[in-house]
Structure 1
């Protein structure tokens, strides 16, 4: 099969690899029909993710058609069109029983603090990802979901990572009816977070970025007010002005690892993708 292959920092190739095989009765083999490139893939490409090994195939956002199932798989059939979540989980360990699927203890022999992720280095289990023609999908009964006939491939692939991440970011903010919400970052996750804020009852949604084309998308897709922070001396002061100096009720940081600041901030601060904070009342 043809697959994207990592050859070192800033070096990727499309090469021939063996078609994956069933290794466990709970496995499925999925023929990939659509895969996305996530901003997180750039961390691998730039050599920033530990234990990214030569020959690894990226891709944690993909959908496809079931080509083969193991003898124990009950919920999938050959020919099913499925979306595959980015994380791999068993569905039965202590973490999975509490809905903490990304911490599954049974899918990553390399760590105890993180589970398995498709195409995201051996730090997260070493599973090849979906930027290829075929993928082995472990625990096929608890991960993949059959795509409804009415849903397009383009919509379904967004549900494997980007949409749930943005929605969860808004959910973490515990948005109440009428709240003012500010989203930092107008990338795909920020856009979904902004649109999700309306679904959760926000009364006002503002998006901050410095790329005009992304801000235009925030206006058309998320019906948000937009602010290019390069046009203001201090965007925080501007947000205060916009909210009668009360500040926003909820702030969602959807910039993630690329949220750079001063050298001191770079050394002392930590950032994680799509964090949400609620102003105490």
Structure 2
């Protein structure tokens, strides 16, 4: 099969690779039909994630058709079109029982602080990801979901990561009816966080970014106000001025982790030369909220 193949920092290529076999009775083999490139895949590409080994296939956002299932699988069958969550979980350990699936105790032999993730280095289990023609899906009886026939596959792939991540950010903000929500970052996760804020009862949603086409899109898609931070001297003052000096009720940092002082920098010792990152957005959020 053809698959993305990591060759080292800033070096990837599409190359032939052996098709994955069933290794465990709870495995499934999925033929990939849709795969996304996540912003966090760039951290792998840039060599910023520890223990990203040559030969790794990236991709934790994908859908596909089940080709083969292990002997213990009862919830899927060949031919099912499924969306696959980015995190791998067993469904039965202490954390899974508390619905803390990303902390699954049984899917990452390389760590105790996080569960398995597709295509995201050996720090998250060393699983190959979905930027390939085929992928082995472990614990396939508890993770993948059959896509209903009335849902477009192009929409379904957004449910593997970007949409639920944005929704959970808004949900964790405990948004109350009529509150003002400010989202920092107009990437896919920020866009879904803004849309979710409306669904959870927000009365006003403001999105902050510096990329004009993203701001134009989120203004139309999520019907929210936008602020380009390139033209703002003091973001906290600007937000408070927009809210009659009250401030936001809820702020969501949807920027990512590309910043000085981030976990990535602490792990790698590298300084990333970017305009703004999570440290900046986090400071803005803290100072903008009432």
TM-score range relative to shorter protein = over 0.9
Aligned: 1:133 with 2:133: yes
State the Cα distance separating 1:235 from its structure 2 match: 1.8
The answer (yes or no) to whether the contact 2:21–2:136 under 8 Å persists in 1 is: yes
Q: CA 1:255–1:162 in structure 2 vs 1: closer, same or farther (change >3 Å)?
A: same
* 1:258 match: secondary structure: coil
Question: Structure 2 length normalisation: TM-score?
Answer: 0.90
Q: CA 1:29–1:277 in structure 2 vs 1: closer, same or farther (change >3 Å)?
A: farther
Encode CA deviations 1:167-208: one digit per residue, 9 max, x unaligned. Answer: 001011100000000010111100000011000110000011
**1:164 aligned partner:** 164
Q: Which aligned pairs between 1:15-30 and structure 2 lie closer than 5 A?
A: 15-30=15-30
* 2:49 match: secondary structure: coil
**1:78 aligned partner:** 78
The answer (yes or no) to whether the contact 1:251–1:278 under 8 Å persists in 2 is: no
Q: CA 1:278–1:98 in structure 2 vs 1: closer, same or farther (change >3 Å)?
A: farther
Q: Distance in 2 between matches of 1:53 and 1:78?
A: 31
Q: CA 1:259–1:179 in structure 2 vs 1: closer, same or farther (change >3 Å)?
A: farther
Shift >2 Å, 4+ stretches: 258-261, 274-281
Q: Distance in 2 between matches of 1:112 and 1:260?
A: 26
Q: CA 1:201–1:278 in structure 2 vs 1: closer, same or farther (change >3 Å)?
A: farther
Encode CA deviations 1:221-271: one digit per residue, 9 max, x unaligned. Answer: 11010111111211211101011111000000100213569xxxx89xx95
Is the deviation greater in 22-31 or in 230-239? 230-239
State the Cα distance separating 1:278 from its structure 2 match: 12
Question: Structure 1 length normalisation: TM-score?
Answer: 0.93
Aligned residues: 274
Aligned: 1:116 with 2:126: no
Q: Distance in 2 between matches of 1:73 and 1:229?
A: 50
**1:181 aligned partner:** 181
Q: Which aligned pairs between 1:97-246 and structure 2 lie closer than 5 A?
A: 97-246=97-246
Q: Distance in 2 between matches of 1:260 and 1:234?
A: 20
Q: Distance in 2 between matches of 1:192 and 1:204?
A: 15
**1:68 aligned partner:** 68
State the Cα distance separating 1:153 from its structure 2 match: 1.1
Q: CA 1:178–1:277 in structure 2 vs 1: closer, same or farther (change >3 Å)?
A: farther
Q: Distance in 1 between matches of 2:253 and 2:198?
A: 17
**1:94 aligned partner:** 94
* 2:63 match: secondary structure: strand
**1:2 aligned partner:** 2
Unaligned runs of 5+ in 1: none
Q: CA 1:278–1:80 in structure 2 vs 1: closer, same or farther (change >3 Å)?
A: farther
The answer (yes or no) to whether the contact 1:85–1:143 under 8 Å persists in 2 is: yes
Encode CA deviations 1:10-35: one digit per residue, 9 max, x unaligned. Answer: 00011111100001111000000110
State the Cα distance separating 1:80 from its structure 2 match: 0.1
RMSD: 2.1
* 2:213 match: secondary structure: helix
* 2:257 match: secondary structure: helix
